[in-house]
Structure 1
Amino acid sequence: MLFGTKERHVKRILIVEDEPLVAFDNETMVSNAGYTVVATVDSVREALAILEREVGRAGGEEAGTPERGIDLILSDITLTGRRSGIDLAAEATARGIPVLFATANPPEDGGGNALGVLCKPYNEGRLKAALKAVEELIAGKGKVKAPNGVILYNRPLAA
């Protein structure tokens, strides 16, 4: 289809950010980019509770019911509580949910299981570019060129 919209691999995003203004900005920018914000939480504990509620429902769109599930987690690394975004990424990817970090201090080791890092500070254009690049990784488009301000690890998703 010439003017049709292509199928998105990421539709529903869980935002994990402990700074309220950044969390609000992320919600607004993610929504403006055409994604659905599943929830915005400030700790790994809360994020895992959302995962428990939503996992198993991905792709589970039934006739007459809204789509459920989480396609991507956008998470800071330093969060409220004792656990970090790196801990969350390990648990999320074990469930088949990819993670994009948004942080001012990218981990030297590649952040464990994350697909990449969106470096703070960023604007709406940079966030959209990062989400597009992550969608290409998820779609299996091979090595994806990282947009400005984004580090991509170009690794396959855990099965």
Structure 2
Amino acid sequence: MLFGKRERAIRRILIVEDEPLIAFDNEYLLTDAGYEVIGTVDSLAEAVRVLSEEQVDLVLSDITLRGDGDGMDVARAAAAKNVPVLFVTGNCPIEAHSLGIGCLAKPYTDKILKNALAALDQRLQGIEVKRVPAGLSFYQGLSSP
């Protein structure tokens, strides 16, 4: 702990988003908030490549992606590397509940995204989250990466 702040469990994030404006906004916001964005990709193939080459603490993934595969396929690939996935989507299907650690509903503000990541970080560290940010749902199978 440094000056009253605890170490983050989530430091290196992979963004998987096929809407360029959202991808750019998320990358800028997360970098500004002190996270290391190790990649911003728009397809399953690119996500798998980054997951195989980089150390990743969290994947932020939309469900609908360009090309073959979707966000649930990204979550399966991430699970093989023990990397948690937070879905960011307008409609999170029931099947995603067993694949991700939660879902943040689109649209969301910068503040909601930051608060969601802070709450997720707490939960990953085993700290009780007293107030879950609007639009964020945690799934039951949440465990530490």
Q: What is the TM-score with the length of structure 2 in the denominator?
A: 0.90
State the one-letter code of the partner of 1:91: A
How far does the alpha carbon of each residue in 1:20-50 deviate from its partner, in whole angstroms, 9 at most, with x for none?
0110011011112210100100001000000
- Answer yes or no: is 1:74 the counterpart of 2:64: no
- Answer yes or no: is 1:127 the counterpart of 2:120: no
State the one-letter code of the partner of 2:38: V
User: In 2, distance between residues paired with 1:137 and 1:97?
Assistant: 15
Q: Note the 1:8-47 alignment, pairs <5 A.
A: 8-47=8-47
SS in 2 for 1:45: helix
**Cα 1:101–1:115 shift into 2, 3 Å:** same
Quote the offset at 1:136 in angstroms. 1.6
User: In 2, distance between residues paired with 1:91 and 1:158?
Assistant: 17
Quote the offset at 1:143 in angstroms. 6.5
Q: State whether residues 72 and 96 of structure 2, in contact with CA within 8 Å, keep that contact through their aligned partners in structure 1.
A: no
Q: Note the 1:98-113 alignment, pairs <5 A.
A: 98-113=84-99
State the one-letter code of the partner of 1:53: E
- Provide structure 2 residue ranges, at least 5 long, that are not aligned to the other structure: none
1:59 paired residue number: none
Query: Identity of aligned pairs, percent?
Result: 47
SS in 1 for 2:59: strand
Quote the offset at 1:140 in angstroms. 2.2
- Answer yes or no: is 1:149 the counterpart of 2:135: yes
User: In 2, distance between residues paired with 1:17 and 1:143?
Assistant: 27
User: In 2, distance between residues paired with 1:2 and 1:13?
Assistant: 22
Q: State whether residues 119 and 129 of structure 2, in contact with CA within 8 Å, keep that contact through their aligned partners in structure 1.
A: no
Structure that is richer in helix per residue: 2
| Bigger Cα Rg | 1
Q: What is the TM-score with the length of structure 1 in the denominator?
A: 0.83
Q: State whether residues 137 and 144 of structure 1, in contact with CA within 8 Å, keep that contact through their aligned partners in structure 2.
A: no
How far does the alpha carbon of each residue in 1:45-67 deviate from its partner, in whole angstroms, 9 at most, with x for none?
0000001111xxxxxxxxxxxxx
Q: State whether residues 136 and 144 of structure 1, in contact with CA within 8 Å, keep that contact through their aligned partners in structure 2.
A: no
State the one-letter code of the partner of 1:129: N
Structure 1 moving runs of 4+ over 6 Å? none
